[in-house]
Structure formats: C-alpha cells, structure tokens
Amino acid sequence: MTGSDQTTVLAALGARLAVDPDGPYLDFEGRALSAREVDEAADRLAHGLATLGVGRGDRVATFLENTSEQVVSFFAALKLGAIQVPINTAYKGEFLRHVLDDSGARVIVVQGELAGRIAAVAGSELPELGAAIVVGDPDEPISTVATTSWDALLAAAPAGPVPDPRVHPADLACLVYTAGTTGPSKGCMLPHHYVVSLARQVARAWERRPDDVVLTPLPLFHLNAISVCVVGTLLTGGRASIARKFSVSRFWPEVRRTGATILSMLGSLAILIANAEDHPDQEGHRLRLCAAAPMPPDTDRIWRERFGCATFSGGYGLTEASLISMLRAGELNKAGAAGKPNTHEFDVRLVDDDDCEVPVGEIGEIVCRPKGPNLMFAGYWGRPEATVEVLRNLWFHTGDLGRLDADGFLYFVDRKKDCLRRRGENISSFEMERTLLAHEAVKDGAVHAVPSEQGEDDVKVTAVLSEGATLSEEDLCRWMAERVPYFAIPRYVEFRTDLPRNPVGRVLKYELRDDGITATTWDREAAGITFDRR
C-alpha cells in the first residue's frame, strides 16, 4: 500500500460532494438526506461544538439511536479534528460512567429519552464532561453540566464550512469501546484510514455497485453501520437506508419501500426472517445479497432458494482489526467456517502459546498483522500496557482460538480465555454451552473454568432453569456426561436465577470465574459420582 492509497473520512465525504452532492445518500425510515444536506448540518454543528470548547483531539461522545443526528455528529466532530465516541444506547450506570470517564469526553450529544441516564452519572465523577446537547425533549434535566438543545445550538451557529482541520489518515476518527467480556471495556483507537479501509474491504467483498441500496437495522454506535453504510456509501455511490430498530413484521415492507439490493444484518436476524412466514412484499424484491454472519447452512440455503438471494455468510473480524477473514459475495462457505483469511490487508496465522505457527488442522490462537499502514486500531485508549500485550512479537493476538483446514477455510473454535484445559485436554466452552442449552429444562447457562487442586482447570456449569422446571444438579451432570467427552464432564454445577451480562448481552465469564465455588455450588466429586473414561 502506497501513501497515495491512504485517505480520511473527510476526504471520502469531499469526493462524494464533488460528484453527487444532491442525490439520495442516506434514508432514515423515510427521511431522505443528500450528502450536501449532511455536510451542511455537520458544518453547523461543528461551529456549535467549537463554541462549547471542542477542538482538535477532544472527544465528543454520542448517545443516540439510529437517527440522522448520529451521522451529523460523527462528521461534525471530525470536521474539528476531534474524536467521536459512540456509546451503546443500552448502557446505564457504571457501564455508561466508565466510557465517559475513560474517554474523557468533553461534550455528549444525547437522545432526549436517554438524558436521565446521563443525569444519573454526570457531575463530580466526570470532571471532563462540560456540556450536553439534547436531541428532543429530555426525560430528565441534566443539571450538573451545561445543557443546550440540538435545535437551539444549530439555530445559533453560523452557516458555512469550518476551517480545514487538516487531519491525516493516521489521525483518530473515533474510539469504539469493546464489549468488556473479560474486564472493563477498552476504547479501540481507530484512525481515519482504518474506517475507510474497512468500508473498502466490505465493498470489495460484496461487489458493491453505484446503483446498490444497502438496508441495515444495525446500530450506528457500532462500527459496522458507520463504516458500511455511512462511509461505504460515500465511496461506492448509491444510497443506504438505516432502520431505527429491527422488526420482523416491518422487514419486507421496508425492503420494498427502499428498493434495497443489499442487506447488512446479523446472522441471528437472518435466521428470524428465514423462519418467518411468507409476506406479500417479499414477492418481486430487488435483493441480490444478504450479508449476515454467522449464518447456519440451513439458513443460508433458505435465503438462496426461498428468497432467491445470494449470501455473504462467512466472516470473522474484531474492532481492533476489521475483517480478518471473509468470502466474496455469493461464494459458498463451508459449514461452521468463517470464510478464508483476508490476504489483501492481513497476514493471518494460527500460533501456539509460544507464538509458533501450528500445522494445518490444529487449533491455535488467531493472530494477524497488517500489510499496510492504518489498517488496524492504533491501540487501546489510555492503556499502553494492554496494547503492548496484544501486539507481542509484532503480531496482533485476537484472543480467539481457531483452525485452518486444507482448503484454507478458517474455523472459530473458542475464546482463548474461555477455553478450559483439564488433565491435558483443551475443552471448548462454546461447544459445552451448545450442549448445555439443548437441555429442555435449561433456559440459560455458561460453562467456565474454576481452579483445580491438580493444576489447570475444573469445569463448572452455571445454569438458569426454565420457569417451573424441576432438575437437580446431579441429573444435569449425568445428562451432560452422555453428550460430552469424559474429560469435559462438569465437576461443579450451580443453579442461579440470572447470569451477569454486559449491555450487549454477553455473559461476563470473568465474574463467574471470580465467583468460583460458591456456597450453593454442587460438587460431583464430593457427591461420590464417577464416570468411566469413554
């Protein structure tokens, strides 16, 4: 990659303005915006942010649903050389306070109905947060910081472009916080060119065309929708339609209304549509591609055969490193695979605990390194030690275990920290949980490690039973013993009413591991129950 290939989000916006300023660019459930309209609104907001003291390098947090204000705020921050911090709208309390405190956000743009959550955490604990811009009527006043309404700020701001911030491809565009499954969430520092590069990668994989219409219900506080729909549409032309929330009943009517040709969704959403009854609006649709990963083979087949739509169902990536593996649009994935390594942007390998490459077919940690500048995150905000740890030996360590087959397909096996090792055998918590959740009496559950007296790990199941279910710990253990290898049979079982989760729904296994063997934990060995090695 040469220096001329490096670019910025603002340069992508400028290129679209030069060739198609007034054509349809973004649609928010019927509210259509051109690139010029977005640009002019972003200029106004940037002027308003500047009056609140925002300058180069400052962080501007956004706590917004899928609305045009989220996109305008994104561009406005960049126009000042500032850094956007999109926050998951499910956050509240400590989760919300942590992101605002850790990022040192100076200003927050917040949805009116979410203002009460900011009010609950703002104040002395967030000394950097000096102002809030509220979109719509607030559900509760934010009395501890200076507050203004979105409409009032834009009305008072001058029109016209802001001075060129002269950002470079390596300058930060946003901080995107990881889910924090293994500890407090960390802010991934994402350069301008990283955001544009991800959009290019996806456009290449999807064979995206200037006449395409991309429809997504994915949230704009995640990188996918921003990079694919907001930035990707600048690069390829065409338009994108961004739904506020996903709805099965409204799905096909939205496909028809927008004239969508590409869907950008989660695999779980594609499954819901595939399992739903036929809808009149699915006849005569223009869809040519459903991009949703991971998508089970049966669901993939339904989309191809029932809906006549090609699929992009194999991919693997992280906020830190965009798309590490993928397939081209319409290319068939192998069952359970995550596509093939993305050799355009990355060198991808599987390594053992000493960072030595493992042979094809064997399990190792997925590591990668970029083939050009600014294709990955620039590190974790304010956490140099954590950055050095994941970049040891000059490779980015994903913390995920995988394997490559002889045809070059990559298979995700487990999170490395969620993988147990007992008596010299590696045990996938992913596979164990899939088995556990197949029990009709189990509503929810997690399989995780607890320290063993013999070293390595012992296996513990923490489960939530369905309402009215009657199941003993011993019965569950015996049931699993019939379905898992002998070395993976759980020693410990604990029933709870709920599992600790982060705001995006992932089980916080580090909390379960820290809890260890509680007073209500059943111990198979203490009960004298043994099983044959078979």
| Span 441-482, pLDDT tens digits | 999 999 999 988 766 789 999 999 999 999 999 999 999 998
The CATH number assigned to the domain with range 419-523 reads 3.30.300.30
Residue 349, Cα to own-chain centre: how many angstroms?
Answer: 23
The pLDDT, as a whole number, for residue 2 is 47
Task: With a cut of 60, say whether residue 181 has pLDDT above it.
Answer: no
Task: With a cut of 80, say whether residue 218 has pLDDT above it.
Answer: yes
Q: What is the mean predicted confidence (pLDDT) over 125-146? A: 94
Task: Kindly report, as residue ranges, where domains of CATH 3.30.300.30 are found in the chain.
Answer: 419-523
Which of 95-99, 235-239, 450-454, 477-481 shows the lowest mean pLDDT across its residues? 450-454
Residue 38, Cα to own-chain centre: how many angstroms?
Answer: 25
> CA-based Rg of the chain, rounded to a whole angstrom?
24
Task: Kindly report, as residue ranges, where domains of CATH 2.30.38.10 are found in the chain.
Answer: 337-418
Q: 486 or 518: whose pLDDT is higher?
A: 518
Average pLDDT, the chain: 91
- Whole-model pTM: value is 0.84
Interacting residues of 147 by C-beta distance below 8 A, sequence separation 6+? 131, 132, 133, 134, 138, 141
**Residue among 166, 239, 236 at smallest CA distance from 196:** 236
The pLDDT, as a whole number, for residue 296 is 77
Name the CATH architecture for the domain at 337-418.
Roll (2.30)
- Return the SS3 of 136: coil
Cα–Cα distance for residue pair 144/97, rounded to 1 Å: 14
Tokens of 136: 């719509």
- Residue ranges with strand state E in 72-135: 83-86, 107-111, 131-135
What is the 8-class DSSP label of residue 227?
A: I
How many residues does the structure list for the chain? 534
**Which of 181-185, 212-216, 428-432, 450-454 is predicted most confidently?**
212-216
**Is 3.40.50.980 the CATH classification of the domain at 7-20+30-190?**
yes
Residue 227, Cα to own-chain centre: how many angstroms?
Answer: 12
Q: Which residues of 365-400 are buried (b: 16+ CB within 10 A; e: fewer)?
A: bbbbbbebbbbbbbbbbebeeebeebbeeebbbbbb
The predicted-structure confidence for 246-283, as pLDDT tens digits, reads as follows: 999 999 999 999 999 999 998 888 989 999 999 999 99
The predicted-structure confidence for 387-427, as pLDDT tens digits, reads as follows: 999 999 999 999 889 999 999 999 988 777 777 877 767 78
Tokens of 275: 């399992």
Tokens of 257: 């209304």
The pLDDT, as a whole number, for residue 486 is 80
Task: With a cut of 70, say whether residue 180 has pLDDT above it.
Answer: no
Cα–Cα distance for residue pair 437/434, rounded to 1 Å: 5
